Amino acid sequence: MPETNAALELVTIPCLADNYAYLLHNAATGDTVLVDAPEAAPIQAALETRGWTLTDIILTHHHFDHVDGLEPLRGSARVIGATQDADRLPPLDLAVAEGETLTICGETAHVYDVSGHTIGHIAIHFPSSRVVFTADSLMALGCGRLFEGTPAQMWDSLQKLRALPDETCVCSGHEYTETNAAFALTIEPENSDLISRAQDVSAARSNGQATVPSMLGVEKRTNPFLRADNADLKAALGMAEADPVDVFAHIRKKRDNF
């Protein structure tokens, strides 16, 4: 796990075939937040092992593989999700929108609208702990498929996340990194940071290790979906003069067919 500088402890929980849920825990207050609930059992086990009780649950978007485990977990926890997605999410205790600031786990957290994969997908940033929960928006070496939004919307969403500090720990929703790396190399075969990251990812996967969380600074240098306005990437695609939205759309379409 990349280091964070705060009191909050981060736990990554593999769920279902390739999903991740996350716990963030404040030892001083005893507060624990869960981000996404793909299935209850592994999350319950992670809580029981540590003797933690959920105080908050953040739902990033309404897809079943992020919410279906909620009911047995919710207890008296405060369930937080997007106002914009509230009609498709399980019942919320707190509906939030872009730009809102919350106190979660005793820390300030900022809400970002990162629509694109779905409309109303949110990301939550904890600046003191330097952690951002991105689920199916920004992913390790990738981004979520555009089920509902346009390329322009997702590119806009990713730019908001890219503006966060390099030392931010990116907690995304799926273990797709090895395929993402193979794809990214087809876009930027000469990117030396990408070449070495792809080797690290393969080594981690052959040892059965998670490739998430990842560091945002590394994503900025290697994730093609964060680099649609990068001169080297554009040149590599023969799109040197193209608008970044068109470059992004081109990369996303190629990834869909990869």
Closest to Fe ion by CB, 11 or 135: 135
User: Residue 227, SS3?
Assistant: coil
Closest to Fe ion by CB, 65 or 219: 65
- To which H or E segment does residue 29 belong? none
Choose, by CB under 5 A, the member of 65, 175, 188, 219 that binds Fe ion: 65
Query: Least Å distance between CB 6 and Fe ion?
Result: 27
- Give the DSSP letter of residue 38: S
| 225 Cβ neighbours under 8 A, 6+ residues apart | 138, 142, 143, 154, 158, 248, 251, 252
Choose, by CB under 5 A, the member of 4, 11, 39, 63 that binds Zn ion: 63
Q: What is the spatial distance between Cα 128 and Cα 41, in angstroms, rounded to a whole number?
A: 30
Residue 39 contacts Fe ion per CB under 5 A: no
Residue 136 contacts Zn ion per CB under 5 A: yes
Q: What is the spatial distance between Cα 107 and Cα 126, in angstroms, rounded to a whole number?
A: 7
Partner that binds at residue 219, options Zn ion, Fe ion, none, CB closer than 5 to 8 Å by kind:
none
Residue 31 contacts Fe ion per CB under 5 A: no
Partner that binds at residue 224, options Fe ion, Zn ion, none, CB closer than 5 to 8 Å by kind:
none
Query: Least Å distance between CB 119 and Zn ion?
Result: 12
Chain-centre distance for alpha carbon 183:
19
Q: What is the spatial distance between Cα 42 and Cα 51, in angstroms, rounded to a whole number?
A: 14
Binding footprint of Fe ion on the chain (CB under 5 A): 65, 136, 173
